[in-house]
Copies of this chain bind each other. A is one copy, B any other.
């Protein structure tokens, strides 16, 4: 084998770190859906009294079928409580998650706006960014916003 060319034992850059970062990013991904749902359910409950499947579907931009199946998973995971043809409720764990998400979302949006980014762009980018912000980075964002 051409040792010099193929898989040198100690690569120039710490690929192990990058691999771990990417692995973490991927792991987070399943949780992102849960966060979006929790936040949407909390919002709907606050603004309309209860969250229904159609409302969630509209809100999340998917069909009611996808909402249904995802809710089943979230129930397995103990975040929501669903009964056929009834409104959707967050469990205490789900409520906690929703609150954390809402807070994180606000911090990210405010931070982006304080950088001079227009509201609409800030909202769109925050939706993607918020799930990947570590506590330390979130704190730095908050600190900058209130500087």
A residues lining the B interface (CB < 8 Å): 4-8, 11-13, 15-25, 28-29, 36, 40, 43, 47-50, 52, 54-55, 58-61, 112, 115-118, 120-125, 127-129, 131-134, 136-137, 140-141, 144
Contact = CB atoms under 8 A, between A and B. Distances in A.
A128 B32 CA distance: 12
Nearest to A32: B25
Given A11-B55, A117-B137, A117-B140, 13 more contacts: A6-B48, A13-B47, A21-B124, A22-B61, A23-B61, A25-B128, A112-B137, A118-B136, A121-B137, A127-B132, A128-B131, A129-B129, A132-B132
A125 B112 contact: no
Contact of A25 (B7, B43, B127, B133): B127
A8 B136 contact: no
A133 B125 contact: yes
Contact of A5 (B25, B48, B58, B140): B48
B117 A19 contact: no
A6 B43 CA distance: 14
Contact of A136 (B7, B15, B121, B129): B121
